[in-house]
C-alpha cells in the first residue's frame, strides 16, 4: 500500500489531496479563487500566487486530517510543475520539495494535463492504454494519443483560444458572469429550439487543429447586427459549434488510429451537453471515459493519482526540478 500527497496550484485553484495506491481518494480539498478574480473576468497572476501562498499550508493540514494520515505515513509527494502560471506553480512545487526533504520521501513533479487525463481512473476504472485524450479547460485545448505513463503524443491543439476561454470571453461580452462555461450551459438549456446557426468551425477533413477565435467574432458580429437577439438562442448556437468541434476531432483521431477509448477531461468536460454529444456519436465498441464533474476541474487528487504511477515505476524527481509555464 502506498499513500501519496498531491498538491496543485497551477492556476486559480489551490488544492491538496491524499490518495491510496493511485486509486482511492481519501481526501480532496480545493480552495477556489474565483471570487478574487471575478471582477477581472480572468485570472490575475499576482493575486493568484499570493492566494496560493496564503492557503496551501492550511489545505495540506486539512487533507491529511480528513484522510486520517499524518506526514510520517506518506510514501511520496507529488506536485504539478507544468504547465501553468509560473508564480502559482512555484507554491505547490516548493511545498512538495520541503515535504520531500524533511520526510525523506520521493518527490514526483507532474504534468497538469496528464493529471487531468488521469482523473477518471480515480473512480474505480483501470487505466488501459492506448487511448485518445481530449483535454479541454480554460487554458488548454489539446488532443493526445496516450500510449503509456508520460508517453503522450500531441495530435492537435488550439491555434488560438482554448475552448473554456471562448466560453469565458463570450460570457464576459454578453455580461453573463464568470466563469462562462457553467452560465452559458445553463442559459443554453432554456433556448427551446431558438438557436442561432453559426458557421461550422474548421470543417475540412484531416485537420487536427482547434480554433475558437472565429466563432467568438461571429457571435460578436451577430450581436452588433441583431442587438435585441435572444441571449439563450445565441449562446445555444455558440455552444453547439464549440462542442461539436471537440466531438468531431476526438472521434476522427480515434477512428483514424483504430483506438476505441476516448478520455475527456478538464473544466469543459463538466458540460452536460458535451457528454450528450459524445454519447450520441459513439459506435460499436467505442467508449467515452469522463470523470464525474467534481473531478473535471482542477484538483489535487488527480495529481496524487498520476504521481503514484511515476512513484510506482521509480520515476522520481530531484529537488532541482523546476516549474515550466508551458509543456
The binding site for ligand KG4 (CB under 6 A) comprises 11, 137-139, 164-165, 167-168, 179-182, 185, 266-268, 270-271, 297-298
Q: How far is the CB of 258 from ligand KG4 (least distance, A)?
A: 29
Helix (H, G, I), strand (E, B) or coil at 157: strand
Cell numbers describing residue 13: 485553484
User: Do 208 and 155 contact (CB within 8 A), yes or no?
Assistant: yes
Give least dist CB 78 to ligand KG4, A. Answer: 18
Residue linked to cell 520515476: 315
CB of 170 to ligand KG4, least distance (A): 10
Q: Please, what's the largest Cα pairwise distance for the chain?
A: 64
Torsion region of 175: left, alpha or beta (phi above 0 gives left; psi -120 to 50 gives alpha): left
Give the separation between CA 215 and CA 119, rounded to whole angstroms. Answer: 30
Residue 4 or 180 with smaller CB distance to ligand KG4: 180
> Which DSSP helix (H) or strand (E) runs through 101?
helix 86-103
Task: Give 36-57 as a DSSP string.
Answer: HHGGGTS--HHHHHHHHHHHHH
Q: HSE-up of 151 (CA within 13 Å, CB side)? A: 7
Task: State the nearest-atom distance from the C-beta of 137 to ligand KG4, in Å.
Answer: 3
153 phi and psi, to 5 degrees?
A: -95, 135
Give the nearest distance from C-beta 116 to ligand KG4 in angstroms: 7
We find the least distance from the C-beta atom of residue 4 to ligand KG4, in angstroms, to be 21
Amino acid at each position: 500500500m502506498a499513500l501519496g500527497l498531491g498538491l496543485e496550484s497551477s492556476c486559480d485553484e489551490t488544492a491538496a489531496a491524499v490518495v491510496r495506491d493511485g486509486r482511492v481518494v481519501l481526501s480532496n480539498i480545493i480552495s477556489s479563487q474565483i471570487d478574487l478574480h471575478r471582477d477581472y473576468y480572468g485570472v490575475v497572476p499576482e493575486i493568484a500566487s499570493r492566494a496560493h501562498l496564503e492557503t496551501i499550508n492550511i489545505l495540506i493540514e486539512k487533507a491529511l486530517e480528513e484522510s486520517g494520515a499524518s506526514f510520517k505515513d506518506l510514501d511520496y509527494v507529488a506536485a504539478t510543475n507544468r504547465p501553468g502560471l509560473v508564480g502559482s506553480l512555484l507554491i505547490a512545487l516548493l511545498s512538495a520539495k520541503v515535504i520531500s526533504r524533511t520526510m525523506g520521501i520521493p518527490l514526483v513533479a507532474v504534468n497538469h494535463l496528464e493529471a487531468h487525463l488521469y482523473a477518471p481512473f480515480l473512480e474505480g476504472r483501470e487505466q488501459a492504454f492506448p487511448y485518445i485524450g481530449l483535454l479541454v479547460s480554460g487554458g488548454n485545448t489539446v488532443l493526445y494519443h496516450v500510449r503509456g505513463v508520460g508517453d503522450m503524443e500531441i495530435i492537435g491543439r488550439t491555434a488560438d483560444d482554448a475552448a473554456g476561454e471562448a466560453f469565458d470571453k463570450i460570457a464576459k461580452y454578453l455580461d453573463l458572469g464568470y466563469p462562462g462555461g457553467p452560465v452559458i450551459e445553463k442559459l443554453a438549456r432554456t433556448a427551446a429550439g431558438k438557436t442561432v446557426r453559426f458557421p461550422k468551425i474548421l470543417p475540412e477533413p484531416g485537420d487536427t487543429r482547434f480554433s475558437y477565435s472565429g466563432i467568438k467574432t461571429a457571435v460578436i458580429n451577430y450581436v452588433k447586427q441583431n442587438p435585441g437577439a435572444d441571449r439563450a438562442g445565441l449562446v445555444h448556437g455558440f455552444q453547439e459549434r464549440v462542442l461539436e468541434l471537440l466531438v468531431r476531432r476526438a472521434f476522427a483521431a480515434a477512428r483514424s488510429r483504430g483506438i476505441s477509448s476516448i478520455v475527456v477531461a478538464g473544466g469543459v468536460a463538466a458540460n452536460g451537453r458535451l457528454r450528450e454529444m459524445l454519447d450520441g456519436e459513439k459506435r460499436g465498441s467505442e467508449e467515452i471515459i469522463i470523470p464525474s464533474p467534481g473531478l473535471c476541474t482542477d484538483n489535487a487528487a488527480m495529481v496524487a493519482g498520476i504521481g503514484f504511477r511515476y512513484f510506482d515505476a521509480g520515476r522520481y524527481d530531484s529537488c532541482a526540478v523546476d516549474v515550466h509555464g508551458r509543456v
